[in-house]
Amino acid sequence: MTDYFEVHDRDGAARLGELRLADPVTTPGLVDDVLADAGSEWTADRQIPEGDEASLTVLPHRALPGGTPEEVQAAFASDYPDVDYPSAAVVSPDTAADDGADAYVLSTAQSVAGHAEAFVDAIVRTRDAIPADSALYLPGVATPGNVATLAYAGVDLVDTDRAVVKGTRGKYLTADGEHFLEDLTELPCACPACQGPRADFDREDCVAHNEYTLRAALATVRERIRQGRLRDYLEGQARHEQWHTAVFRRLDRQYGYLEQRTPVIRRAEITAASDDTLRRVEIQRFAQRVTDRYRCRFDNPLVLVPCSARKPYSDSQSHGQFHDAVQFRAHTVSMTSPIGVVPQELELTYPAQHYDSVVTGDWSATELEFVSDVLGAYLRENEYPRMIAHVPAEYRPICERVEDDLGVEFEYTVVDHPTTTDSLANLASALAGEDKYRKRERQHNTLRAVADYQFGRGAGDALFEDIRVRARYPKLKAHDPGGEQLAALVPQYGVLSLTLAGARRWVDSAAPTKRVEIDDFVPHGSVLAPGVVDASEAIRVGDEVVVEGPNAFAVGRAEMHGREMAESTRGIAASVRHVAER
């Protein structure tokens, strides 16, 4: 049971949480003032401590530092008592398990901090072994430079120990690294400790500065999590130290760990300022769903166009011009870094209208490779009678690569720039004689495409075979032949929100349903984690979910991932949109 820790907000593996002590601690945060260590059992037999609500009691432990042989770990691993006050259990990645504690202290922190491979392995293994709603404490390793990386990986609690010890050694810490105090001509900081003259600044001041800076770095991390933008910060900040960069790159390779924890929709914008952005879960997931789940339902030719800075693309001037030339005679797919390819039906769908990239007119080799891989995979899944590439010169290498890989040919229509009169005329004349598709077809195909993307391959047909569409794009609504609303397209995220009738269709359809099984109550507003009996593993934050129990059938949006719903004892599991009593 985790009674004294609650996760309020999530940003990938990072969480904004609350250590619910008499004086609550917002996490990621410092535990210096609230930690009560009941002591090591290596030195003495310990009684179960009294404990209290004001502190996080570290239960009597035999800490196993890095390098402890496996058999010794197995022989000496601690057994922890069940206590009814805030408690922490000391574990190693090998011994970590659900010990019923609110927090877990990683005894190998000193061994793994600084070594990206070992660090990622330790965090991923430990996080997977302890309950999702417990806090993870890495003792003695936090610095202003590494806390963003620690939090990004899933660490909730840290302390000032290393920052203080470094200060006593004349190491001046900042978010961008570490300096020998004697090497600094001036103090690059405005904290209270750095107010005096440089000449008077001694190691005691350095200790104070390090603590202030660590606190500020933690506040930055917490704000970033609130905004859902820790990754964007980290892609820049982590570059100051190699192991930090290596950590997030290695975590990108631990796709399962991050994907499980990354929301499927959010308001925050993605800053695409480095090649690393291409490996973000949001980007990979979109590319994967577009190639694996989405299916083009139009019979018209393909027109590949460049993306626009303005989102959604259709709001941009350039896409307006493309549209005028195409005149509903082709299926428009935008090529973009870092997203890959965006079929016109998915231009609203997160993150297709939620990113901003650095535009220089040059593409990096990684971008070229990524976009051509996605385009290639897309064209293997979707066949077109003709393929027109209305793209500027810098996109040509991508198209040519795909032509070579797939043995296909594009018709190129751009002479200098896609929006010049000549280029647009070329595009229009290339489509001369092609049939126009109707508005109804466009609207139906849009709703079905989003359903495919959101619920799985074929879901668009399974859910929306016989629909009537009401309202105007982008606020499309799907109704059944009897007039009852099934779903609405949410323009902000480009996903569907279902009604109860839509949810029933989903349950009855072949498309895999994401279910939250609850106890015998009728949820209103939200479903709290303790009321969840079970939940589909595949649920991600932001997913549509069906909530079912003996007394209720409801539909809503997930606030936790599936495992977290099933394991957590605190927090909101899902927000409920519509509910019916049974």
Partner 1 sequence: MSKPSPEVYEQGRGMDAHNQAMREIRARKDETHDPTEPTRVWLDEDNTPDGVYDSLTIILNTGGCRWARAGGCTMCGYVAESVEGGSVSHEDLMTQVEKCLDHEDEHGDEPAGQVKIYTSGSFLDEREVGAETRQAIAETFADRDRIVVESLPDFIDAEKVADFTDHGLATDVAVGLETATDRVRHDCVNKYFDFAEFERAAADAADAGAGVKAYLLMKPPFLSESEAVADMKSSIRRCADVEGCHTVSMNPCNVQRHTMVEDLFHADGYRPPWLWSVCEVLDDTADEDVLVVSDPVGHGSDRGPHNCGECDDRVQRAIKDFDLRQDPSVFEQASCPCERTWEEVMDRERSYSMPLAR
CB of 214 to partner 1, least distance (A): 14
Binding of partner 1 by 61 (CB under 8 A): yes
What lies within 8 Å, CB to CB, of 379 at 6+ separation is: 387, 402, 406, 408
Binding of partner 1 by 76 (CB under 8 A): yes
Backbone φ, ψ for residue 19 (5° rounding) = -85, 110
Q: How far apart are CA 289 and CA 145, in angstroms?
A: 35
Q: How far apart are CA 468 and CA 478, in angstroms?
A: 6
Which one of 35-43, 124-132, 391-399, 514-522 is the stretch in contact with partner 1 (CB under 8 A)? 35-43
Which one of 136-144, 239-247, 277-285, 291-299 is the stretch in contact with partner 1 (CB under 8 A)? 136-144
CB of 93 to partner 1, least distance (A): 12
CB of 110 to partner 1, least distance (A): 5
The H or E element spanning position 466 is none
Binding of partner 1 by 372 (CB under 8 A): no
Binding of partner 1 by 72 (CB under 8 A): yes
CB of 239 to partner 1, least distance (A): 24
Binding of partner 1 by 66 (CB under 8 A): yes
CB of 366 to partner 1, least distance (A): 34
Which one of 37-45, 326-334, 383-391, 431-439 is the stretch in contact with partner 1 (CB under 8 A)? 37-45
Question: Contact letters (x/-) for partner 1, 95-114, by CB under 8 A?
Answer: ----------xxxxxxx---
* Residue nearer to partner 1 on the CB measure, 10 or 209: 209
Question: Contact letters (x/-) for partner 1, 323-362, by CB under 8 A?
Answer: ----------------------------------------
> Cα angle vertex 530, ends 529, 531, to 5°?
90
Binding of partner 1 by 68 (CB under 8 A): yes
Q: How far apart are CA 152 and CA 276, in angstroms?
A: 15
Count CB atoms within 10 A of the CB of residue 205.
20
CB of 61 to partner 1, least distance (A): 7
* Residue nearer to partner 1 on the CB measure, 40 or 366: 40
250, 112 Cβ separation under 8 angstroms: no
CB of 486 to partner 1, least distance (A): 54
Any idea what DSSP says for residue 386? -
Beta strands in 337-410 (DSSP E): 340-343, 355-357, 387-389
**Among residues 45, 79, 186, 362, which is the contact residue for partner 1, using CB under 8 A?**
45
What lies within 8 Å, CB to CB, of 516 at 6+ separation is: 527, 532, 534, 535, 536, 539, 545, 546, 547, 548, 558, 565, 573, 574
Which one of 68-76, 210-218, 377-385, 458-466 is the stretch in contact with partner 1 (CB under 8 A)? 68-76
23, 44 Cβ separation under 8 angstroms: no
In a 10 Å sphere around its CB, with 0-12 CB exposed, 13-18 middle and 19+ buried, how is residue 473 labelled?
A: middle
* Residue nearer to partner 1 on the CB measure, 111 or 445: 111
CB of 384 to partner 1, least distance (A): 57
562, 539 Cβ separation under 8 angstroms: yes
* Residue nearer to partner 1 on the CB measure, 41 or 259: 41
* Residue nearer to partner 1 on the CB measure, 43 or 360: 43
**Among residues 65, 196, 525, 550, which is the contact residue for partner 1, using CB under 8 A?**
65
* Residue nearer to partner 1 on the CB measure, 71 or 186: 71
The residues in 138-197 that bind partner 1, with binding defined as CB under 8 A, are 139-141, 159, 161-162, 164-165, 168-170
Number of residues in contact with partner 1, rule: CB under 8 A?
A: 41
Beta strands in 290-344 (DSSP E): 302-306, 331-336, 340-343
Which one of 55-63, 214-222, 403-411, 559-567 is the stretch in contact with partner 1 (CB under 8 A)? 55-63
Range 85-110 burial, b when 16+ CB lie within 10 A, else e: bbbbbbbbbbbbeebbbbbbbbbbbe
Report the first-to-last Cα separation within the chain, whole angstroms: 30
Count CB atoms within 10 A of the CB of residue 439.
12
430, 411 Cβ separation under 8 angstroms: yes
* Residue nearer to partner 1 on the CB measure, 37 or 292: 37
CB of 129 to partner 1, least distance (A): 17
As beta bridge partners, residue 342 has 334
**Among residues 8, 203, 229, 470, which is the contact residue for partner 1, using CB under 8 A?**
203
Both structure tokens of 377: 């995979």
Binding residues for partner 1, rule: CB under 8 A, are 37, 40, 42-45, 58, 61-69, 71-72, 74-76, 90, 105-111, 139-141, 159, 161-162, 164-165, 168-170, 203
